[in-house]
Amino acid sequence: MIDYTLPIFRPPSEAKSFILQASIGCSYNKCTYCAMYRRENQKFRIRPIEEIKTIIDEAVKRYEFKRVFISDGNALVIPQDRLVRVLEYLNQKCPNLERVTMYANVGDVLRKGVENLKILRELGLHMVYIGFESGDDVVLKRIKKGASYREAVEASRILKEAGIKNSVMVLLGIGGKDRSLEHALKTGHLLTDADPDYVGVLSLQIRPGAPIYQEWIEGKFELPDKFQMIKELEIIVENTHLTNGFFFSNHISNYLPLKARFPEDKEKVLEEIRKILKYRDESRLRPEFYRDVVNQY
Ligand code: SF4
């Protein structure tokens, strides 16, 4: 039996990957909107290398897999020497390994730097998923993201130089009603400057356990309604100029699921969003009950 500390979160695109829980929780754990790793059993820790090797041995015996997602919340924080040993062991035990991915924080990428990341790339680290959430520094400070617009752009540059793909998440609604438009506009600018390979749009769902829940209860944070979130999506799309990237809003938290390739599909997507906004057409939107299924982040 594989030893997991639950719950486990993974991006939708890692549904077919073996999840290697090399660390538990998130070393940062301060983002005000995040309730993912707040339980007592999820206190941040990194598994000893021998324990990780035992999990890999067990996984190889039980499953066939070509992809590995290393969890939990920001696995790139694992010290370089241990991460190298994990990747080396994975390569040794899984000769068909195609790719390894993980979540990372902007700060983890900045601390690792190009040279360390190149080594991880050589060992199979194909892509990292990073939550930028917003391009608005006012919002970033308010939600205690721990990284600024400039740092997010720098982290993206480092990843490009190291040859690691960058999958960025941004969050509709996180600016509240008061910074909704600034949040959307600056998020579009950030995506343009960062020029990631993938953009994943999510919509804020306020969950008990996240500090923002209390702010919301006390009326200090107001969540934009569904059409305001779609307006944010329109502004983000308008202001996002990717060289060659995918733009997805297919995460279950979103009202409007989209899958597009930028730049070629951008105008088509804008047209669709504008039509929905113009007629306030709910028929294309996900019903609330469906969005409320506890989501994978
Ligand atoms: S959003 Fe990511 S970085 Fe922030 S607390 Fe949650 S897991 Fe950690």
pLDDT exceeds 50 at position 294: no
* pLDDT at residue 195 in the model: 98
Closest residue (by CA) to atom 7 of ligand 1? 73
Residue 297 inside a domain? The answer is no
Rounded distance, CA 273 to CA 234, Å? 6
* pLDDT at residue 290 in the model: 78
Q: Specify the number of domains making up the chain.
A: 1
DSSP E strands: which ranges in 38-90? 45-46, 67-71
Indicate if ligand 1 lies below 6 Å from the C-beta of 104.
Answer: no
Residue 270 inside a domain? The answer is yes
Residue 6 inside a domain? The answer is no
pTM: 0.95
Model confidence pLDDT, tens digit, residues 206-218: 999 999 999 999 9
List the domain range (segments joined by +) for residue 185.
12-287
Model confidence pLDDT, tens digit, residues 8-33: 999 989 999 999 999 999 999 999 99
Q: Residue 288: what are its φ and ψ, rounded to 5°?
A: -60, -40
pLDDT exceeds 60 at position 296: no
Buried b (16+ CB within 10 A) or exposed e, 1-33: eeeebeeebbbebbeebbbbbbbbbbbbeebbb
Percent of the chain with pLDDT over 70: 98
Instruction: Tell me the pLDDT band of 295, cut-offs 50, 70 and 90.
Output: very low
Residue 125 inside a domain? The answer is yes
Instruction: Tell me the pLDDT band of 288, cut-offs 50, 70 and 90.
Output: confident
Using alpha carbons, select from 64, 84, 72 the residue that is nearest to residue 17: 64
Q: What is the mean pLDDT of residues 235-253?
A: 96
Largest separation between any pair of C-alpha atoms in the chain: 59
Distance 68 CA to ligand 1 centre (A): 20
Indicate if ligand 1 lies below 6 Å from the C-beta of 29.
Answer: yes
Residue 82 inside a domain? The answer is yes
Region of poorest pLDDT, from 14-23, 66-75, 256-265, 280-289: 280-289
What is the rounded average pLDDT for all residues in the chain? 95
Distance 34 CA to ligand 1 centre (A): 6
Distance 211 CA to ligand 1 centre (A): 12
CATH for 48:
3.20.20.70
Residue 84 inside a domain? The answer is yes
Model confidence pLDDT, tens digit, residues 131-146: 999 999 999 999 999 9
Closest residue (by CA) to atom 2 of ligand 1? 73
Indicate if ligand 1 lies below 6 Å from the C-beta of 31.
Answer: yes
Residue 3 inside a domain? The answer is no
Which letter does DSSP use for residue 71 in this model?
Answer: E
Distance 97 CA to ligand 1 centre (A): 28
Model confidence pLDDT, tens digit, residues 50-100: 999 999 999 999 999 999 999 999 999 999 999 999 999 999 999 999 999
Instruction: Tell me the pLDDT band of 292, cut-offs 50, 70 and 90.
Output: low
Distance 129 CA to ligand 1 centre (A): 12
Closest residue (by CA) to atom 8 of ligand 1? 29
Model confidence pLDDT, tens digit, residues 216-234: 999 999 999 999 999 999 9
Rounded distance, CA 186 to CA 238, Å? 11
Q: What is the mean pLDDT of residues 281-297?
A: 72
Residue 7 inside a domain? The answer is no
Closest ligand 1 atom number to CA of residue 29: 5
Model confidence pLDDT, tens digit, residues 140-165: 999 999 999 999 999 999 999 999 99
The token duo for 85 is 């040993």
Cβ contacts of 276 within 8 Å, gap of 6 or more: 230, 256, 284, 285
